[in-house]
Structure 1
Amino acid sequence: MLRRSLLLVLLAACAPAAPPPAAAPPAQAHDHAAHDHTGAAPEQLGSVAFPVSCSAEAQQRFGRAVAMLHSFWFEEAEKAFSGVAEVDPKCAMAHWGRALTLMGNLFAGPPPEANLKAALAAAERAEALAGSASARERGYIAGALALTRDQERLSHAERMQRHEAALRALRETAPDDMEATIFYARAVIGNAPPSDLTFARQKEAAAILQPLFREHPNHPGLAHYLIHGFDSPQLAEYGLEAARAYAEIAPSAPHALHMPSHIFTRLGYWDESIETNRRSANAEPVPDAAVHPLDYMVYAYLQQGRDRAAGEVVERVVQLPDRFYGGVIGYNFVAMPARFTLERGRWEEASRLTMPTGAAPFVTAVAHFARAIGAARSGQPALAREEVAALAALENTLEEQKNSYWTTIVGAQRLAATAWLARAEGRDEEALRVARAAAELEETIEKHPVTPGPLLPARELLGDLLLELNRPAEARQAYEKSLEREPNRARSLFGAARAAELAGDLESARTRYAELAQLMAPSDGDRAELRVAREFLARR
């Protein structure tokens, strides 16, 4: 009851002045569960009602296609919307659906260029057929055009702002259309600045979506976008209801099976994250190519010390081209082996990580950061210096591209690596100054949804440095602050315990060591920190 009361207070504080539109759209909700007799599981996508002025058969297919779109099952959604156009060539909204599908995951950034052009063509085809569409449908098409037109003149962020404005206008003119409200809230979350750590826009969207979710608990979009809205350490607890529901609402959609782990990761619920990401990967045509859920799974395994299980995933994962995400998920493919070395403190191994080829700058930075930290912490300052220089060049490239988010992330990585290079060269005070700057910079923005978390949090690395320099009280503060953003992280728990022990606070050390021992109870590796924790607990 307390958690629900807090949620109501949170949402009320950010609720819009006008009440949300009526929850039920004009048509009866349709449950997309198609049964067959082949032994395959029935298709389950949740319930979506989206009336359109198309043929009866097109209408039946359209709701299923929108359900797929809400769950980011883009490959199948594109086929489904194309099928709508085949049975009713005059159905403008079929092409609206294709346009939004081709734009992909709006929370992750723009899609590949080929999809951008195809999305514009689909939106303009919808506009050409809109003469027989309703005014409401023309409002949806205007939203798609706002998102896809002027690609040479306007950035993705600027077009997203236009998209939100168009959907706001649609919502105002069609207040009883629940789908208009849902797509508007999705745009609000997509436009939330990563530097706004009050999460005002996410709260605004949640205030719209949460009452609708209570009335329509089987709607895939409501559950999905609530998870995105609450995907931050401060708000994650409020997303648990949606997270625990979503995988059962639309288990046929691989992304719906993955999304709960965004909340589980924020809360340090590693068993739940592993299980839902395993289901997600297994639902993909090529499970070993499901690099996004597998990266989240590897991250969770490593927190539990299940190094053998994590290593098996890293060994078998493959990277295949992705039409809808392009190079973004290249991040996950490169991050997995980097995490596998860094989380286990295998510094020399990290310094030898293979560099990706043809990757985006922020993806290439993953490997350079891991190599820089590994080299600096394994007695290879010359190599570390080269890697820091490479990070600086990538940071400049991102700044020239006006990619402020990844410029900040790579800048923090460069500073953290520079700090450990300074430590390797005996410049300890400089190392501390730069390490603090890295932590402060990294904490000015929220993480990108592509990643479960930083490779190694800059604040945690500051704690490592302070511990090495025999400043345990300050180290403990750094680790504890890191745990506020990244709860139940094994390295930060160990650091906090060890720092408390060295500072003479044995009771706090016992508490943190006990938490670490419980966290790593399923460990299948040979982590030194687990041995230290067990030895400490056995002595007292």
Structure 2
Amino acid sequence: MSRERLAPVPASDEYYDLGSFGHSITTTSADAQIWFNRGLIWVYSFNHVEGAYCFEQAIAHDPACAVAYWGLAYAVGPNYNKPWEKFDQGDLHTCVQRGYDASRQAKKYAGNATPLEQALIDAIQFRFPTNQPATDYPALNKGYAVAMKPVYDEFGSDLDVATLYADALMNMTPWALWDLFTGKPNPMAPTMEVKAVLEKALALEEDGANLNPGLLHLYIHFIEMSPTPELGINAADHLRDLVPDAGHIHHMPTHLDILMGDWRRSIASNHKSTLADDKYFRKSGANNFYTFYRLHDYHSLIYAAMFAGKSKVALEAVTRMESTVPEEVLRIQSPPMADWLEQFMSIRIHVMVRFGMWEELKMKALPRDQSLYAGTTAVTHYARGIAFAATGDVASAKKEQELFHQAWDRVPVSRLAYNGKIVDVLQVAGAMLEGEIEYRCTNYDKAFVALRRAIDYEDKLPYSEPWSWMQPVRHAYAALLMEQGHLEEAAKTYRADLGMDTSIIRPCRHPNNVWSLKGYHECLVRLGKMDEAAVIEQPAKLALAVADVPIKASCFCRLDNSQSPQLLDQYSSNGKCC
């Protein structure tokens, strides 16, 4: 191995509570078995950094354990959220060398392994055919998936083999198994083969399918972009709380909770997720790639709270999140952490817009380092422009609009917003700000054209859960339509946002959200459609009862509801990062 081997740590030492899942391996060491189980759980939980550490501990306890080297090679390779294309050159060279060395060590010791372990070891060689980075990543991904096929054919009744084969197939076209606009499988992806593998494995309940975190996790990712994400709810409920100290496992079911509009359950599970993640942060710090997942889990909590109208939950979570991201982490060059993490630094600003904190926004300071926080700088100008427009200061709003465009031009194209880029997400901001300013200038037709353009940009963002634009433009558009008396169009917009028809893609529907429930009910009453209004009156009442701010419109930008109640001072800090 090219890296210095770790000193063995007794498995009996205090460690995270990862539940009881495991996979029996060939080893002479009980400690190696425990560390291997931990490594497998962590990679199934998408904490590949900790997974690699655990596999290295298994090796330290049993240097001849072939499958422990396989685990290390698997952990340092690509995954669904970090395919080969997203490695920077330094990270890529390091991981390829580690993976190559580990896979060859696995092969070296494979003589004493079981036939199943030998088959996995043979397949992992195709993920690292040389110790130099490849140039044709699709071919590399396909080569590994093809190599896993005979492993699955022979050992497919083993749930971990099924999971690993499905993972290999999914990584051929990550986040592209389905066409969101047709609702059909992507013809360039092995979608139906993935479906067959996962659902056959999930049917093996007596063999522990409902206790396998990797299998359940992958099924959520498989089904969430489909037109029927509700089919994954049972798997999600089995996964929920399965691995107590793995924050991302608590979080994953909420990918479906959000799509179903189960905002309170999403808040509860993501809160548990952040508590587990904070435990990991206290022990391991922020200087690791799992920080991306920690912030994603926080983001999901905040997003759900926003749709539930729970400002205190959202702002408390923002403050907790920001406290775990020291600026020096964003300055790490390899992997380029600012590219991965800066998207989360503007979340507070989106929350402030959602809850109409106009006076606070007008005083919101710009980041000290506007190069490091390039995207946050642009979002700050956008939000200040919205705030000035909403309070009638159009001249200041236009100044912020100009500054927004200048800042937007300075955002590096490498800055990510999950599966998309911050520069593309800012298209939504630009069109929304234009619409708000035109509206305050009483250029209503121009305003609505701009807002419809913002909606189009929003709908066409690459899939992510949560969506990379945090407040649906439809909420502002419909609120302003109502103000101008366009009730039928407003009702149509609310209906689409609530997912009460199929006029927009599945991920852009937000069932049961308090903002559209309130707006749609008001529309129906004003239109005299009392029978329809009665149908949603009770859901609207429940949603309004859950919210912690009075909600009189779907957006605080509506002129007759332009000022939100004052939020508690401790929840409106400027944020540690800026």
What interval of TM-score do these two structures reach, taking the shorter chain for normalisation?
Answer: 0.7 to 0.9
Counterpart in the other structure of 1:448: 464
- Structure 1 199/520 Cα, relative in aligned 2: closer, same or farther at 3 Å? farther
* 1:67 corresponds to: 41
How many angstroms apart in 2 are the aligned matches of 1:410 and 1:182? 37
Q: Does the Cα contact within 8 Å between 2:247 and 2:276 map onto a contact in 1?
A: yes
What is residue 501 of structure 1 aligned with on the other side? 525
Q: 1:377 aligns with which of 390, 393, 411?
A: 390
8 Å contact kept, 2:177–2:222: no
Instruction: Give the corresponding residue for 2:254.
Output: 261
Residue 195 of structure 1 contacts residue 445 of structure 1 at CA under 8 Å; is this kept in 2?
A: no
Q: 1:301-380 residue pairs with structure 2 within 5 A?
A: 301-317=305-321, 318=323, 319-320=325-326, 321=329, 326-327=337-338, 330=341, 333-355=344-366, 357=369, 359=372, 366-378=379-391, 379=393, 380=396
Aligned equivalents of 1:461, 1:194: Cα separation in 2: 32
RMSD: 3.9
Indicate yes or no: 2:122 matched with 1:133.
Answer: no
Aligned to 1:19: none
Distance 2:485 2:320 in 1: 41
Residue 402 (structure 2) aligns with: 386
Alignment map for 1:76-115 (pairs within 5 Å): 76-91=50-65, 93-103=67-77, 106-107=80-81, 110=86, 114-115=90-91
Change (3 A) 1:388 1:362: closer
In structure 2, distance between residues paired with 1:210 and 1:260? 17
8 A Cα contact 2:72 2:102, kept in partner: no
Which residue in the other structure is 1:186 paired with? Answer: 167
| In structure 1, C-alpha distance between the alignment counterparts of 2:428 and 2:550, rounded to whole Å | 30
- Report whether the alignment pairs 1:521 with 2:545: yes
> Which of 179, 188, 192 matches 1:196?
179
1:354 and 1:160 map into 2 onto residues whose CA distance is 44
**AA aligned opposite 2:354:** E
Kindly state the Cα deviation for residue 306 of structure 1 after the two structures are TM-superposed: 2.6
Q: Which residue of 2 aligns with 1:252?
A: 245
1:14 — aligned with what?
A: none
Q: How far apart are the structure 1 equivalents of 2:398 and 2:315? A: 29
1:253-309 deviation per Cα after TM superposition (whole angstroms, max 9, x unaligned)? 221111111111111112211221121111232479843322222222233333223
Partner of 1:276: 269
Matched, 1:44 2:27: no
- Contact preservation (8 Å) 1:301, 1:307: yes
CA distance 1:241–1:438, shift in 2 (3 Å)? same
Q: Is the 8 A contact 2:148 2:168 kept in 1?
A: no
Identity, % of aligned pairs?
Answer: 21
Change (3 A) 1:108 1:176: same
Distance 1:516 1:168, change over 3 A: farther
- 2:205 aligned with 1:207: no
2:96 aligns with 120
Equivalent residue number for residue 17 of structure 1 = none
Verify the 8 A CA contact 2:379 2:404 in the aligned structure 1.
no
User: Is 1:172 aligned to 2:150, yes or no?
Assistant: yes
Q: Return closer, same or farther for 1:303/1:118 CA change in 2, 3 Å cut-off.
A: same
Q: Distance in 2 between matches of 1:354 and 1:92?
A: 55
1:56 shift after superposition:
5.4
Closer, same or farther: CA 421–204 of 1 in aligned 2, 3 Å: farther
2:466 maps to 1:489: no
Q: How many residues align?
A: 488
Alpha-carbon deviations, 1:314-349, whole Å to 9, x = none?
Answer: 334312438989346635632431232122133453
Superposition deviation, residue 239 in structure 1:
1.3
Change (3 A) 1:251 1:181: same
CA offset digits 1:348-369 (Å, max 9, x no partner):
5345545554557666655454
Do the aligned partners of residues 459 and 105 (structure 1) sit closer, same or farther apart at CA in structure 2, a change above 3 Å counting? farther
Task: Report the equivalent of 2:505.
Answer: none
- Map 1:152-171 to 2 at 5 A: 153=135, 159=137, 162-171=140-149
Q: What secondary structure sits across from 2:39 in the alignment?
A: helix
What displacement does 1:82 show?
0.9
From 212, 224, 229, the equivalent of 1:231 is 224
* Contact persistence 1:73–1:254 (CA under 8 A): no
Residue pair 1:182, 1:209 contacting (<8 A) in 2 also: yes
Matched letter for residue 373 of structure 1: I
- Distance, in Å, in 1 between the alignment partners of 2:298 and 2:460 is 27
Cα distance, 1:80 vs. partner?
Answer: 0.6
- Name the SS of the counterpart of 2:211 in structure 1: coil
| C-alpha distance in structure 2 between counterparts of 1:233 and 1:148, whole Å | 37
What do residues 126-152 of structure 1 show as CA deviations (whole Å, max 9, x unaligned)? 24423443762344323432799536x
The CA deviation at 1:474 is 0.8
What's the CA shift string for 1:485-513, capped at 9, x where partnerless?
12222222222223333333344344445
- State the TM-score, normalizing by the size of structure 1: 0.77
Structure 2 partner of 1:472: 487
- In structure 2, list runs of 5 or more residues that go unmatched: 1-9, 112-117, 287-293, 500-508, 557-578
Q: 1:273 to 1:499 in 2, by over 3 A?
A: same
The answer to whether the Cα contact below 8 Å between 1:377 and 1:424 also exists between their aligned partners in 2 is yes
**Aligned counterparts of 1:339 and 1:399: Cα–Cα separation in 2:** 18
Partners of 1:328 and 1:233 lie apart in 2 by 28
2-structure distance, mates of 1:341, 1:233: 32
Q: Give the partner amino acid of 2:140.
A: R
Of the candidates 426, 431, 450, which is equivalent to residue 447 of structure 2?
431
**SS state of the match for residue 145, structure 1?**
coil
Shift, 1:220, TM fit: 1.0
Structure 1 SS opposite 2:195 = helix
Q: Distance in 1 between matches of 2:304 and 2:471?
A: 14
CA distance in 2, matches of 1:176, 1:105: 24
Deviations 1:368-421 (A, max 9, x none): 5444433443433323422541475268836999x8665543333333333223
In the superposition, relative to structure 1, how do residues 400 and 108 fare at CA in structure 2: closer, same or farther (>3 Å)? closer
Give the C-alpha shift of residue 219 in structure 1: 0.9
Matched, 1:411 2:427: yes
CA contact (8 A) 2:219 2:232 kept: yes
Decide whether the 8 Å contact of 1:111 with 1:326 is kept in 2.
no
Q: Is the 8 A contact 2:358 2:387 kept in 1?
A: yes
